[in-house]
Amino acid sequence: MEKYDALIFGHKNPDTDSICASLVQEKYNKNNGWNTKAVRLGNINKETEYVLKYLGIDAPKLINEVADGQDVILVDHNAFAQSVNNIENAHIQMVVDHHRISNFETKEPLYYIAKPYGCTCTILFEEFKNANMKIEKKEALLMLSAIVSDTLLFKSPTCTKYDVEAAKELGKIAEVDVQTYGLDMLKAGTDLSDFSPSELINIDSKEFVTGNYKFQVAQINVTSIEDVLENKSSIEKAMENFMTENGTNLFIFLITDILNNDSQSIVLGDTKLFEKAFGQTVENNMALLEGVVSRKKQIVPVILEALEKMGN
Ligand code: MG
Ligand code: MG
Ligand code: MG
């Protein structure tokens, strides 16, 4: 690979924000004369594929690990468990992120831009603004797509007024109707027909580690929960295999209905903790979480609090 000042990437099992933020950060750096390259840490999902096709651009190159001392820029994540292999030995120049900061440590000073917004691309939108940098049509659509994806078209509790404002302006630059384009993009992501059960649980899956406790929260967006549940037993088998391989204590698989904003969860492993956390019974390995669409705001903090209470 050509020599770059730094590689830019989002989290493993990349979502639209991880891919789009990497590409937009690359453009921002280029405008500043910085020769950096967006890469990715996993397969492109159908939703992101829709965005890239719409723009007629290629996905960033896939990498699996980085060399010792490699200069890197992290977007849309900071936790090492969700980052590239060998991140511990890389040189992190910068982080642009909208998640809680966890298990993160560097040996050297760095740029760290964190805002509690609904999307990394909303932060990048403000970076362009602050630098008086013109936003081109392509970057506008990339940022808009990421905002729509992360906020589920502004319906997620993670959505802030900054995301809404940014999307409005980006929609104008990109010359698209935000609602129409947004729903088409989200719907493209609900086509899961090509995925095997083990792929399904990995499309958008994140590991969380606290002390000795490991939990996994995976999520898919659908327009029909029932369709997915037809394959429930094979999904459960895939989850079980994953847990054995990774030493996972608790696995929550969220099947999120993007039209009604409810999530059906399949819960395996430490279901007792799940029940304590959510005050709901797990029956047949399932619990319906009404109005729950956000892993970051409605799942992870609830689990962490329950773990703390139980002295983990
Ligand atoms: Mg993400
Ligand atoms: Mg994000
Ligand atoms: Mg997401």
Do 206 and 282 sit in the same domain of this protein?
Answer: yes
Do 89 and 225 sit in the same domain of this protein?
Answer: no
Please name which ligand lies nearest the alpha carbon of 122.
2
From 153, 187, 221, give the residue that closes a domain.
Answer: 187
Do 102 and 16 sit in the same domain of this protein?
Answer: yes
Within a domain: residue 128? yes
pLDDT in tens, 32-90: 999 999 999 999 999 999 999 999 999 999 999 999 999 999 999 999 999 999 999 99
Do 105 and 181 sit in the same domain of this protein?
Answer: yes
- What is the Cα 104 distance to its own chain's centre? 17
In order, the DSSP letters of 216-230 are EEEEEEES-HHHHHT
Asked if 48 and 16 count as a contact pair (C-beta separation under 8 A), the reply is yes
pLDDT in tens, 130-170: 999 999 999 999 999 999 999 999 999 999 999 999 999 99
What does each C-alpha distance from 159 to 16, 59, 67, 96 come to in angstroms?
16, 26, 36, 17
Within a domain: residue 1? no
Do 36 and 145 sit in the same domain of this protein?
Answer: yes
Q: Give residue 194's pLDDT.
A: 87
Using the mean position of ligand 2's atoms as its centre, give its distance from the Cα of residue 8 in Å: 15
Phi-psi region of 180 (alpha: psi -120 to 50; beta: other; left: phi over 0): alpha
Using the mean position of ligand 1's atoms as its centre, give its distance from the Cα of residue 45 in Å: 12
Do 71 and 157 sit in the same domain of this protein?
Answer: yes
Residues in the 5 Å CB sphere of ion ligand 2: 17, 76, 120, 150
Within a domain: residue 60? yes
Using the mean position of ligand 1's atoms as its centre, give its distance from the Cα of residue 17 in Å: 5
Residues 6+ apart with CB under 8 A from 122: 98, 115, 143, 147, 160, 162, 163, 166
Within a domain: residue 172? yes
Closest by CA position to 214, among listed 246, 188, 182: 246
Asked if 148 and 185 count as a contact pair (C-beta separation under 8 A), the reply is yes
pLDDT average, residue stretch 296-308: 96
From 162, 187, 212, give the residue that closes a domain.
Answer: 187
Q: Provide the pairing of β-strand 213-222 with 250-257.
A: parallel
Closest by CA position to 143, among listed 16, 255, 259: 16
Residue 138 one-letter amino acid: K
Do 100 and 151 sit in the same domain of this protein?
Answer: yes
Given a cut of 60, whether residue 1 has pLDDT beyond it is: no
Do 129 and 225 sit in the same domain of this protein?
Answer: no
Do 290 and 141 sit in the same domain of this protein?
Answer: no
User: Residue 89 is part of a domain; what is its CATH number?
Assistant: 3.90.1640.10
Using the mean position of ligand 3's atoms as its centre, give its distance from the Cα of residue 15 in Å: 6
Using the mean position of ligand 2's atoms as its centre, give its distance from the Cα of residue 14 in Å: 9
Please name which ligand lies nearest the alpha carbon of 42.
1
pLDDT in tens, 32-44: 999 999 999 999 9
Within a domain: residue 150? yes
Do 30 and 117 sit in the same domain of this protein?
Answer: yes
Using the mean position of ligand 1's atoms as its centre, give its distance from the Cα of residue 100 in Å: 12
Residues in the 5 Å CB sphere of ion ligand 1: 15, 17-18, 76
Given a cut of 80, whether residue 312 has pLDDT beyond it is: no
Using the mean position of ligand 1's atoms as its centre, give its distance from the Cα of residue 145 in Å: 12
2 — pLDDT class (breaks 50, 70, 90) = low
Using the mean position of ligand 3's atoms as its centre, give its distance from the Cα of residue 10 in Å: 11
Using the mean position of ligand 2's atoms as its centre, give its distance from the Cα of residue 13 in Å: 12
Angle between the N-to-C axes of helices 137-151 and 16-31, in degrees from 0 to 180, rounded to the nearest 10? 150
Using the mean position of ligand 2's atoms as its centre, give its distance from the Cα of residue 306 in Å: 24
Q: Which helix (H) or strand (E) holds 61?
A: strand 61-62
221 — pLDDT class (breaks 50, 70, 90) = very high
Do 117 and 233 sit in the same domain of this protein?
Answer: no
What is the domain extent for residue 150?
A: 6-187
Do 205 and 135 sit in the same domain of this protein?
Answer: no
Within a domain: residue 163? yes
pLDDT average, residue stretch 236-241: 98
Using the mean position of ligand 1's atoms as its centre, give its distance from the Cα of residue 172 in Å: 24
User: Residue 262 is part of a domain; what is its CATH number?
Assistant: 3.10.310.20
Number of domains in the chain: 2
From 155, 187, 219, give the residue that closes a domain.
Answer: 187
Please name which ligand lies nearest the alpha carbon of 115.
2
